[in-house]
Amino acid sequence: MWRHQFLFNWFFGLEIARKKAYLSAPAGPLKDYLSVPFPALHTPLSQLNLIALDFETTGLNAVKDKLLTVGHVEINNQQILLGSGYHQIINTQRELLADNVAIHQITDQQQQQGKPLAQVVKHLLKTLAGKPVLVHFSRIEKQFLQRACLELYGIAPPLPIIDTLLLAKKRLDKRDVAYDPSELRLSALRQHYQLPRYQAHNALSDAIATAELFLVESQHHYANATLKDLLS
């Protein structure tokens, strides 16, 4: 169902999809989210208000795997507002695999003290309302958030997404030089722009890292862009 909706977005635009989903959404956090219009497609870069978002999950499959932590930070007027930083562990109500614990460094105990998914998604929808989401490699965040909404509210909402990986890819594709896909990784791109090293796999750190990369990438290559040019 949500895959079908994806095609729908492509043809009729996000704003139409939003209005349509709004009509069928049950009253509650999702309907509230959908009630706020997305910014106009011709909004210039300098006026964009974005939420850089990062999820840590137990795996790549949005149906089987679980959301572990959520981190986000706001970009306003081309500045990252560190005070808006948010980091939340989610109680998945099941035990974590040892492999994952090594990557995310979130223990079962921390996880059990986390908040229930419904509460975190409610917070997320409130934060994201009316704002495009900024993500590096958007598949995870998009699928997991839409899947969570589908489970919680029966509807997967349209999400206006700016993907820093795609922005970099577009730029590299334009050149006639082959490149290694690993060059598109967040850490590799940051290194390319000589940005400081951050601890990977912390959702808030990664969200800030993505936001910083966006400031750099957009000022160097998308300085006169509008939202339309940036959306993936």
Partner 1 sequence: MDNEIAEVRDFIQAIPPFDQLPLNKIQSLINAIRICYIKQQQTLPPSQCEQNSLFIIRKGALAYYNKNNELTGKYGEGDICTAFCHTEHSEDITVETEEDTLAYCIQYQTLQEIIRQYPAVINFFQDSSAQRLKSKMSQLNEDAILASSLMNTDISQFYHSPVATITENSSIQQAAIEMTTLGFSCLVVTSNDTARLPVGIVTDKDLRQRCIAKGLDYSLPVSEVMTKNMLTINEGSRAYDALMLMTAKRIHHLPVLQHNKLLAMVTITDLMNHESQNAVNLTHLIRKASSLEELTQISKLLPKLQIKMAKLGTTADHVGKSISAITSAFTIRLIELAEQQLGKAPVSFAWLAAGSQAREEQFAHSDQDNALIISNDMKPEHDQWFLNLATFVSDGLATCGFIYCPGDIMATNQQWRQTQQVWHEYFNSWVNTPSPQALLNSSVFFDLTTVHGNEDLLNEVRTQLLTKTKKSTLFLAHLSRNALLNRPPLGFFRDFVLIKDGENKQVLDLKHNGIAPIVDLARIYALSQGISATNTIERLKQTAGTPALTKSSAANLIDAFEFLSLLRMEHQAKKLAANCQADNFLAPKDISKLEREHLKDAFKVIKTLQDARQSSY
Which positions lie near partner 1, rule CB under 8 A?
46, 77-83, 85-89, 193-196, 198-199, 202, 204-205, 208, 211-212, 215-216, 219-220
Q: How far is the CB of 229 from partner 1 (least distance, A)?
A: 19
Which residue, 34 or 162, has its beta carbon nearer to partner 1?
162
CB of 74 to partner 1, least distance (A): 10
Residue 68 main-chain phi, psi, to 5 deg: -100, -55
Cβ 49 to partner 1 shortest distance, Å: 13
CB of 232 to partner 1, least distance (A): 21
The smaller minimum CB distance to partner 1, of residues 80 and 161, is found at 80
- Bridging pattern class, strands 67-76 and 49-57: antiparallel
Residue 35 beta carbon to partner 1: minimum distance, rounded to whole angstroms: 25
Minimum CB distance to partner 1, residue 66 (Å): 19
- Give 19 or 123: the residue with its C-beta nearer to partner 1: 123
Residue type, 102: A
Amino acid at 229: D
Q: Please say which residue, 99 or 108, places its beta carbon nearer to partner 1.
A: 108
Q: 38 to each of 7, 19, 58, 117, 168, how far by Cα in Å? A: 18, 10, 31, 25, 24
* CB closer to partner 1 out of 61 and 105: 105
Number of other CB atoms surrounding residue 7 within 10 Å: 9
Residue closer to partner 1 by CB (options 163, 217) is 217
The single-letter DSSP state of residue 60 is S
Shortest approach of partner 1 to residue 223 CB, angstroms? Answer: 9
Chain Cα centroid distance, residue 128 = 10
String of DSSP letters for 137-191:
STHHHHHHHHHHHHHHHS------EEEHHHHHHHHHHHSSS---GGGGSHHHHHH
88 membership: H or E segment, kind and range: strand 79-91
- When the beta carbons of 61 and 79 are compared against partner 1, the nearer one is 79
144 contacts 92 by C-beta, under 8 angstroms: no
Structure tokens that stand for 171 in this block: 């730029």
